[in-house]
Amino acid sequence: MKNRSLVSIDDFTSDEVLKILDLAAEFEKNPVSRLLEGKVIATLFFEPSTRTRLSFESAINRLGGKIVGFSEAGATSLAKGESLHDTIKMVSSYSDLIVMRHPIEGSARYASEIASVPVINAGDGANQHPTQTMLDLYSIRKTQGTLNNLNVFMVGDLKYGRTVHSLMMAMSRWNTTFNFISPEELKMPEEFKIYLENLGLKYYEHLDFTDIISRADIIYMTRVQRERFSDPIEYEKVKNVYVLKNSMLANTKPNMRILHPLPRVNEIHTDVDSNPKAYYFEQALNGVYTRQAILCSLLGIK
Ligand code: CP
Tell me the domain boundaries of the chain.
9-128+287-298, 131-284
Ligand 1 atom closest to 122 (CA): 3
> What is residue 126's predicted lDDT score, i.e. its pLDDT?
86
> What is residue 218's predicted lDDT score, i.e. its pLDDT?
98
The CB of 50 under 6 Å from ligand 1? The reply is yes
- Angle at which helix 280-298 crosses helix 130-144, to 10 degrees, equals 120
Which of 43, 45, 47, 52 maximizes ligand 1 atoms within 8 Å of its Cβ, making it the mutation to test the pocket?
A: 52
> What is residue 225's predicted lDDT score, i.e. its pLDDT?
79
Average the pLDDT over 76-105 and give the result.
96
Assign domain 9-128+287-298 one CATH number from 3.40.50.1370, 1.10.1200.10, 3.40.710.10, 3.40.50.300: 3.40.50.1370
The CB of 287 under 6 Å from ligand 1? The reply is no
Domains 9-128+287-298 and 131-284 share a fold: yes
Q: Quick one: which of 125, 115, 112, 110 has its CA closest to 46?
A: 125
The Å distance, Cα 11 to ligand 1 centre, comes to: 21
Report how far residue 12's alpha carbon sits from residue 20's, in angstroms, rounded to the nearest whole number.
10
Q: What percent of the chain clears pLDDT 90, i.e. is strictly above it?
A: 88
Which of 50, 58, 265 maximizes ligand 1 atoms within 8 Å of its Cβ, making it the mutation to test the pocket?
A: 50
Residue 48 φ/ψ region, left for φ over 0, alpha for ψ in the -120 to 50 degree band, beta for the rest: beta
The CB of 227 under 6 Å from ligand 1? The reply is no
Q: What's the order of all strands across the beta sheet hosting 97-102?
A: 66-70, 40-45, 97-102, 119-124
- Domain 131-284 top-level CATH class: alpha beta
Strands (DSSP E) along the chain, which ranges? 40-45, 66-70, 97-102, 119-124, 151-155, 177-181, 203-206, 218-221, 257-259
Average the pLDDT over 76-84 and give the result.
93
> What is residue 153's predicted lDDT score, i.e. its pLDDT?
98
Computed over its alpha carbons, how large is the radius of gyration of the chain?
19
The CB of 5 under 6 Å from ligand 1? The reply is no
Report how far residue 165's alpha carbon sits from residue 108's, in angstroms, rounded to the nearest whole number.
16
Report how far residue 5's alpha carbon sits from residue 297's, in angstroms, rounded to the nearest whole number.
10
pTM of the model: 0.95
pLDDT tens for 225-278 read 787 777 888 877 878 889 999 999 999 999 999 999 999 999 999 999 999 999
Q: Quick one: which of 300, 278, 299 has its CA closest to 95?
A: 299
- Whether 108 has a pLDDT exceeding 90, the answer reads yes
pLDDT tens for 277-293 read 999 999 999 999 999 99
Model confidence at 84, in pLDDT bands (50, 70, 90)?
A: very high
pLDDT tens for 33-44 read 999 999 999 999
